[in-house]
Amino acid sequence: MVVEEVGLKRRGSLSWGVRNLMRRKQVDSERGRGESSHGSPRQQLAKELSVIQLIAIGVGSTIGAGVYVLVGTVAREHSGPALTISFLIAGIAAALSAFCYAELASRCPSAGSAYHYSYICVGEGVAWLIGWALILEYTIGGSAVARGISPNLALFFGGPDSLPFFLARAQIPWFDIVVDPCAAILVLLVTALLCVGIKESSFVQGIVTIANVCVMLFVIIAGGYLGFQTGWVGYSVPSGYFPFGVNGMLAGSATVFFAYIGFDSVASTAEEVKNPQRDLPLGIGFALTICCSLYMLVSIVIVGLVPYYAMDPDTPISSAFSSHGMQWAVYIITAGAVTALCSTLMGSILPQPRILMAMARDGLLPSFFSDVNKRTQVPVKSTILTGICAAMLAFFMDVSALAGMVSVGTLLAFTIVAVSILILRYVPPDEVPLPSSLQESIHAVSLRLSQESDVENAKADVETCKDKDEQCEDGISSSSNSEASVEDPLIEKQIVQDKLAEQKRRNVAALNIAFVCIGVLLLTSAASAAYLPSLLRYVACIIGGLLLLCGLIMLSWIDQDETRHSFGHTGGFICPFVPLLPICCILINVYLLINLGTGTWLRVSLWLVIGVLVYLFYGRTHSSLRDVVYVPTAHADEIYRSSSEIVA
């Protein structure tokens, strides 16, 4: 059959295992949203979020207490007074990922964020690893944030160890474990709030985020007043504005880049947004702009109040105000740190149940995770399980040593989202998976297309015979028929040539996207591998740079795919400066990934190996795509219409 052959020919040469890893799902549509991989009707999340609530989620998830500590560490060790420029460069780098997220979120507004996008554009294997890495990120991230709240909260009770006995940290005898009841209780409270409903939880997060922003505005306004009173002594240092040079300032940018991760939480709520094509890009863009502006203004003030070398690396903002006689400001700043941590805690726990739900909908995890509560319209079971795991980690374990693992999931997601933009623009999926229940409709459409093709060929033969004044009668030899079919009509030849040219363009584009990825990996690995001989590093850098440059030039030269205009939900945000912007995004994120450290990668690799085993023994065999039939995108609507006619 015509429709089935197109889907099967390309897969015939691939092994079964590779086919599983490369299979891609369809963008959720109105007719597909009612289907479930487990045979039951798909339950939908409540569409309650507007732009304001998305901004609150984005800002609350991004601005954590790290800014209250990060400015001191980075200024002392890397940037000096140029800390503001470090925040600006890091914000621009984060904006590259935000642009990519904004287009994919508006085109594919479904739960799952980067997992969902990579499943549509790249394939099941990569999507599984991204989803599995994000599960680790949000669990450890939430636990680490919760552990940081209790020391700050204790300051309101008189000191670091002044919390009430039932909330205070305690060491378990005979074990080198310090339990933190306060952290566990806070995680469970946030979990309970998230179970109530997305509208209610986003409202509370908005209040907490406003309180945090007000504290930062206090720092900016009061600190600016002090700066003008004291003459901005921090900018009068003899070493100048760049005491560590431009390289130090760039190193500071790489460090503060992690203060921007968190806006991807906005994309994870895509299914709960009232108008995703408009609101998601606005929510992501405004959240990142607000965060970058606040970071830069705070850094301008704090670096100007105290010389960078005299900053307290642990409490830079509090100590800056104390040095000018404003001891009472410590309580306001501590309140800001607590509200920032609480908001970040909510932003860390919120996305994970939705990723679990998306993976369960696709059959890669048990259906338990995809259950949506009928009253609250949130994945309550997944949320409760997420909260219990995060609370146990926060109670028993100091996860600060594992904090680097949080960055792996985020940077992997940022990288694959940028790759997905390149795939969407140049080689978008030209086939869609249809359930085996539509097999009868697929056969009917295939038969009709075959008959129409035969009729077209017969008409072409008759026209050719008439033009040549040949006798086209019954009994004529087959040799005359073959002679007529050799000379195809001009239009048919042009159609065939166009199809061949388009297939060649897709092959060239796919090859150059691969060149970009390989070139980035070679370039960043060689540039970071100080233990390798210099000659080997230079050669690898040159090869990687040439591959990257070749891919960029070719992708800029060839045309983008016309079907990108109709991919997914149209009418939303369009990422600018493709292919340059996503390629820069890939380069920055892969460089940061390579430099996270060997210890971090060893721990993450162990988690990823566990994920591979889970996929091999469960996800691969339970995937919703295991029994689908791939058909050309152009015929999908016709097959669905035929199915409706058969049912009627």
Residue pair 354/111 in contact by the 8 Å Cβ criterion: yes
Q: Cα angle at 208 between 404 and 97, to 5 degrees? A: 45
pLDDT at residue 566 in the model: 82
The pLDDT tens digits for 325-348 are 888 898 899 899 999 999 999 999
pLDDT at residue 263 in the model: 83
pLDDT at residue 474 in the model: 47
As given in the structure block, the two tokens for residue 302 are 């704090």
Residue pair 355/134 in contact by the 8 Å Cβ criterion: yes
179 DSSP β-pair partners: 170
Q: Tell the burial category of 448 from Cβ atoms under 10 Å away from its Cβ (0-12, 13-18, 19+).
A: middle
Closest by Cα among 394, 395, 390, 396 to 175: 396
Q: Cα angle at 48 between 46 and 53, to 5 degrees? A: 135
Mean pLDDT, contiguous 10-residue spans, the chain (648 residues): 43 59 77 52 81 94 85 91 94 94 92 92 95 92 88 78 82 82 94 94 94 95 93 90 91 90 88 92 95 95 93 87 88 91 92 94 92 91 95 84 79 95 94 77 70 58 52 44 48 74 93 97 91 90 96 95 84 92 96 86 92 94 88 74 58
pLDDT at residue 5 in the model: 43
The phi-psi region of residue 44 (left if phi > 0; otherwise alpha if psi is between -120 and 50; otherwise beta) is beta
pLDDT at residue 493 in the model: 67
Count of alpha carbons within 13 Å of 595, Cβ hemisphere only? 16
Give 45's contacts (C-beta < 8 A, 6+ positions apart): 111, 198, 271, 272, 354, 372, 377, 378, 379
Give 479's contacts (C-beta < 8 A, 6+ positions apart): none
